[in-house]
Structure 1
Amino acid sequence: MSAKSVARGTRRGTARLTGKLLGSFGVFLQGAIENPGMVGALFPSSKATVQGMLQLVDWKGCKVVVEYGPGIGTFTRPILELLPADARLIAIDTNAHFIDHLKDTIRDPRFKAVLGSAADVEAIVGAAGFGKADIVISGLPFSGLPEPLAKSIVEASYRVLKPGGGFLTYQYRLIARRLTEAVFDRIDTKVMWANMPPNNLTWGWKAA
């Protein structure tokens, strides 16, 4: 085993121990410190933001939902509460600490956590046995991503969605909204003031 593999295993073991000692927020904080460019804030989104973001979706009709950047599961758990019994939630994150935490704490047969990039969403959904998704919800900090990568993620999200599907983002800046508006057929927007700092919510809809 290489030194790099040993170091990676040690870090993941430390993250699991941190989660046990400090709870989910300890894991979130460690992830934010180790990889600040891929975590949008030092605090998870507020309950009001979660409720506001999810309220426009017809969850009863969903079969496949994809979440980018699930972190410690701030949106993941509420989504699972809304999903039908035969639906599936695929969470994609580049942070191994977060993926391990979700696998350790969410015991739901509808849930699958994948270590990978949102840019590969089509391949990841296909590997899970599905052709398309009903909803894609993203917590990725688009302002911290290279512009070509951010654009490719939004375009891949459009392609992976079924007609009538939605791409949901919650961001402090407006970059994700602008990208969504350029790709999707229709958008809805809202500013969630009951969040620190205030969140810009955007729903991008693919034409039915």
Structure 2
Amino acid sequence: MTATDFARQSLGQRIRHRVQRAMGPWGVFLQGFVEHPVMVGSIIPSSRFTIRKMLAPVKWDECRLFVEYGPGVGTFCRPVLERLRRDGQLIVIDTNPLYIDYLNATIPDSRFAAVLGSAADVEAIVKAHGHDHADYVLSGLPFSTLPDGVGAQIAAATHRVLRPGGAFLVYQFSAKARLFMARHFTCIDAGFEWLNVLPCKLFWGWKA
């Protein structure tokens, strides 16, 4: 890459970041949905009621690594960071560079790392950040519309990367995610949140 190409790329990145800031989180989220509706699954971010209920079982004093799949514009990221211990880390994984760029530009927290990649590669990503395992993994990925085989890969990799006693936290509009979870997690708690668009099913899969 020449110096001119690098300068053009840097200018393009700066312009993109300025546009994203001007659009705000709702605009960026909508753009991501329009570009990748199958991977995003919802046109509106989760409600505060879903966030509170989903995170309620987490033992924050024991959590050193929290991982999230499909963070979007950070709807869960900020509440997680507010609760996370000072020496903890939050790693989020998304296949959409739009969301990763936005998160890196808007969350200036040393405990935060946004990774462009697949949730199926969570083990390698966790190790690359200096951890042996995760304490909790949160996912809003639409298991019902993921490409064939991907949902099963993600569920298996998540079970392997979690420590004993850790949990896979999943919120969905359908119950299909539980089918993938049940292959690996023998203890699955379930809930429901009406105050969300759309109302969603909640699952907590605990690793024995």
Q: What is the CA-CA distance between 1:9 and the residue it aligns to?
A: 8.5
Secondary structure at the counterpart of residue 178 of structure 2? helix
2:145, 2:68 → 1: CA distance?
18
Amino acid at match of 2:25: S
- Code of the residue aligned with 2:92 in structure 1: it is A
* 1:17 CA drift (Å): 3.6
Counterpart of 2:22 in structure 1 is 21
Residue by residue over 1:26-81, the C-alpha shift from the partner in whole angstroms, topping out at 9 and shown as x without a partner, is 11111111111111111000010000100011111100111000000000110001
Aligned residue in 2 for 1:50: 51
CA distance in 2, matches of 1:190, 1:140: 17
Structure 2 unaligned runs (5+)?
A: 2-8
* Other-structure match for 2:147: 146
Shift of 1:173: 0.7
Q: Give me the identity figure in percent.
A: 51
User: How far apart are residue 107 of structure 1 and its match?
Assistant: 0.6
**Partners of 1:27 and 1:18 in 2: how far apart?**
9
2:65 alignment partner AA: V
CA spacing shift, 1:10–1:70, aligned 2, 3 Å: farther
Deviation at 1:11, TM superposition (A): 8.4
Name stretches of at least 5 consecutive residues in structure 1 with no aligned partner: 2-7
SS of structure 1 residue aligned to 2:183: helix
Structure-2 residue corresponding to 1:125: 126
Q: In angstroms, what is the RMSD of aligned CA positions?
A: 2.2
What is the alpha-carbon distance in structure 1 between the residues aligned to residue 28 and residue 179 of structure 2? 31
Deviation at 1:12, TM superposition (A): 6.2
Partner letter of residue 193 of structure 1? W
- Could you tell me how far apart the structure 2 residues matched to 1:165 and 1:182 are? 16
1:78 aligns with 2:65: no
Please report the TM-score for the alignment, with normalisation by the length of structure 1.
Answer: 0.92
Relative to structure 1, the CA distance from residue 110 to residue 34 in structure 2 (aligned partners, 3 Å threshold; closer, same or farther) is same
Aligned partner letter, 2:190: T
Distance (whole Å) between structure 1 residues aligned to residue 13 and residue 36 of structure 2: 14
Please report how far the alpha carbon of residue 185 of structure 1 lies from its aligned counterpart in structure 2 after TM superposition: 2.3
TM-score, L = length of structure 2 = 0.92
Deviation (angstroms), 1:187: 0.6
Tell me the distance in 1 between the aligned counterparts of 2:190 and 2:12: 39
TM-aligned CA distance change 1:136 to 1:16, over 3 Å: same
Cα distance in 2, alignment partners of residues 176 and 13 from structure 1:
38
